[in-house]
Amino acid sequence: MKNQEKINNKKILVVEDELIPFELYKCYLKVIIDEKNILYAEDVSVALTTLENEHIDLVIIDLLMPKTDGFETLIQIRKNKKRKYLPVIIITSYRLNKEQKKRLDKNVIGCFSKIYLKEEQLTELICENLYKN
């Protein structure tokens, strides 16, 4: 019970340019945290503003976004020393090459394909990381 209360108060920021995938992720996340703590950013500028104004415990980023892709979004997030160790999960429909996977492995706690994403995988990884903090 205490662990659930601890997670319920955590905030997750989802950086996704399309509303339909965001709504799907929100359905997954509502099982583990309060819906009001699931925040949405449609691009990097909104994400960075949200990160400045809110205490965010974990970020989920889509790699393929029109203005600024997820790689650049991740770089922008990590520029701030306070966010150096902020847990980040990548969800993408993009097929990653070896170099891109290696680049992400150093900076994220998980990377999922949108096509094969399962609720249990995502929520389990999130719970593991939110329990720690």
pTM of the model: 0.90
The phi, psi pair for 53, rounded to 5°, reads -95, -15
Given this model, what pLDDT does residue 2 score?
42
Fold designation for 2-124: Rossmann fold (3.40.50)
Residue 133 has what pLDDT?
Answer: 63
pLDDT tens by residue, 11-40 = 999 999 999 999 999 999 999 999 999 999
Structural domain boundaries in the chain = 2-124
The pLDDT, as a whole number, for residue 106 is 82
Q: What span, in angstroms and rounded, lies between the C-alpha atoms of 48 and 59?
A: 11
